[in-house]
Chain A
Amino acid sequence: MVRDSLIGFWHILRSMGLTLRYFFSKPVTVQYPKEPVQLYPRFRGRHLLRRYEDGPYKGLERCIGCSLCAAYCPTQCIYVHAGENKDGLQRSPGERHAEIYEINLLRCMFCGYCEEACPTGAIVLRREFALADYSRESLIYTQDLLLQPAQPNAIILDDGTPREEMGL
C-alpha cells in the first residue's frame, strides 16, 4: 500500500517532468495562411488532365475516354463520357476522346487510384491543395478546369498580400 502509493507518486512526478520538458519546446504548429506548409514529395493535390507536350501528338489530350479511372475510383467521383474523334477535329490520338470529364472534388478522397489506373498517364494528381469554394456546384471540376495547369499555393503575409509559395 505505502510502496504502491510512493511508486504512483514517483510516476506522477515523472510524467509532470516530461510535460514540463515539452512546455519549454517550440510549438510545432504551422500558422498556415501566414506560413508555408511543408509538402511531402508524393503529396496528392488537385487533379490535372495532361496533354502531350512533344512528339507526334504534341498538343493533343492524353485522355482517350476509356473510363478506367471512373471504374477504379473508390468514391465514384469521376464521370467520363467518351466521344468519337472526328477527322479534322482530333482531340486525342486514336479513335476516342473524353467528351465529358468531371470530377466531384467534394467526394474525391485524393487516393490517386485514377492516376494508377490511367493507361495513358492522362490524369495525374498535382500539388494544389487550396481548393475551398462557396458552392457545391463549383467544386465539380469540369474538363476545362482540369486541363488548366495547377495553380501554385499562396500564403497570405501579415500586410494582407498573398505570396506564392509551396511549389507544384
Chain B
Amino acid sequence: MDWVADFWIPVIKAVVVVLALLVAGAYMTWGERKICSRFQVRYGPNMAGPFGILQPLADAVKAIFKEEIVPSHVDKVLYLMGPGISFAAVLITFAVIPFGPEVDLFGKQVGLWIGDVNVGLLYLLAIAGLGSYGIVLGGWSSNNKYSLLGALRATAQMISYELPLGLSLLGVVLIVGSLNLRQIVEYQGNWPLIALQPVGFLLFLIAILAESNRSPFDLPETENELISGFMTEYGGIKFALYFIAEYTAMVVNSAIVATLFLGGWKWPAVLSDLHPLVGVALFLAKVLFVLFLYVWIRASTPRVRYDKFMRFCWKFMVPLALINLAVTAVVVALV
C-alpha cells in the first residue's frame, strides 16, 4: 500500500476542505449580514475589527460560552443529534465536488477533489436529502408545536423541491452523458452548461434556494409565524451549529451550481489553461457570485406563502422541468 498516495493525501485534502468549508460558512454569516445591510442602505457589522471582519469569531465565542440548556420535555438523543446531522450532511456533500484540476504539489500529482465518484451527481442528490433529517428530527424531538410545524413543513417542502431539483439536473446528465462531476466540468471548457440549459439552471437555482431553506422559501424557520420553527428550542452552540450548517449549505450549494452550470474551474478554458490555480480562482469567483445571488434574492423578495410554494413546486416547476427534459432529450438524440 502506498501510504502517501492512498492515505495521507486524501486525509490532508479532506481536513483542508473541511476547515475551509467551516471558515467559509462562518464568514458567509458575516458576508450575508454585510451584503444584506448594504441592500438596506446600512453598514452592517463594522465594529469588530476592520469592516467587522472578526464578527464571526465574536459570535462563535459567544455561542460556545452560552449555557448548554437541554429542555426537560425534549427527546434528548434526537435533540442533540439534530444539529449534528444537519451539519455533517452539509460537510460530506462537498466530498465529490472538484474545485480544481490536477496539480503538481511537491512532486506528487494531486487532484483538487476529495472523491472522484462515477455517480457524483447521484451522491449529491442523495446527501442533499439527508440534510433534511437534521431539521425534521430536531423539530420533532423538540416536542414543541412550533418546532413540529417547522419540521412538518421541512418534510413537505423536501418532497416538493427534490423532484424539480433532480429533474432539472437530468438535462445536464443527458448533454454530458456522465454523472461524474469531473467529466461534467471538463465538458464545459468552451461553453458553460447554463448556455445550453438556461431553464434547467433557473429551476435548479430555485430548487436549491428551497433546499437550503433560504428566503423566499425559508418556510421551516419563518421567524414571524413559527418563531424560527425547528430551531425554537435550540440555544448556544447547538443553535450555532444549525445556523452555520445553513450557511455552509449555501456555500456548498453555490459550489454545486458553479460546478454544474457555470463551468466550475474549467470555463473559460482560455484562462483556466494558464495555471491550475487560475482555475481554482475561477471556481471561487463563481461560488462567490452565486452566494451574492443568494443574498440578493433574499434582499429582494418577500417570503412565499406555504400553499403557494407547494403549488409553485408541483404545478409549475415539475411540469417545466419535464418539458425541459423532453426537449433536451429530443435535441440530444437528433444532434
Partners in one complex: yes
Interface residues of A (CB under 8 A from B): 1, 5, 12, 15-16, 18-20, 22-23, 25-29, 31
Other than the known A15-B301, A27-B38, what 7 A-B pairs have Cβ atoms closer than 8 Å? A5-B316, A19-B296, A22-B38, A22-B40, A27-B43, A28-B41, A29-B41
Q: Does B299 contact A (CB under 8 A)?
A: yes
Q: Does B300 contact A (CB under 8 A)?
A: yes
Query: Which of A20, A26, A27 is close to B296, meaning CB atoms less than 8 Å apart?
Result: A20
Question: Residues of A contacting B38 with CB < 8 Å?
Answer: 22-23, 27
B39 and A23 contact, CB distance less than 8 A: yes
Q: Does B117 contact A (CB under 8 A)?
A: no
A-B contact count (CB 8 A): 38
With CB as the reference atom, state the residue of chain A lying closest to B297: A16
Which 3 A-B residue pairings sit nearest by Cβ, starting from the closest? A19-B300, A16-B300, A15-B300
A-B contact pairs, 7 of them (CB 8 A): A19-B39, A19-B296, A19-B300, A22-B41, A23-B39, A29-B41, A29-B42
Question: Residues of B contacting A5 with CB < 8 Å?
Answer: 316
Chain B residues 141-165 with CB under 8 Å of chain A are: none
Query: Which of B35, B41, B297 is close to A25, meaning CB atoms less than 8 Å apart?
Result: B41
Give the interface residue-count category, chain B.
10 to 19
Main DSSP-derived SS at the A contact region: helix
Return B131 CB to nearest CB of chain A, in Å.
26
Query: Which of B37, B42, B43, B299 is close to A19, meaning CB atoms less than 8 Å apart?
Result: B299
Cα(A114)–Cα(B106), bound, Å: 80
Return B152 CB to nearest CB of chain A, in Å.
27
Question: Residues of B contacting A26 with CB < 8 Å?
Answer: 41
Chain B residues 28-44 with CB under 8 Å of chain A are: 35, 37-43
Question: Residues of A contacting B299 with CB < 8 Å?
Answer: 19, 23
Cα(A20)–Cα(B300), bound, Å: 9
A27 and B41 contact, CB distance less than 8 A: yes
Question: Residues of B contacting A20 with CB < 8 Å?
Answer: 296
Return A94 CB to nearest CB of chain B, in Å.
54
Cα(A1)–Cα(B42), bound, Å: 38
Question: Residues of B contacting A19 with CB < 8 Å?
Answer: 39, 296, 299-300
Question: Residues of A contacting B297 with CB < 8 Å?
Answer: 16
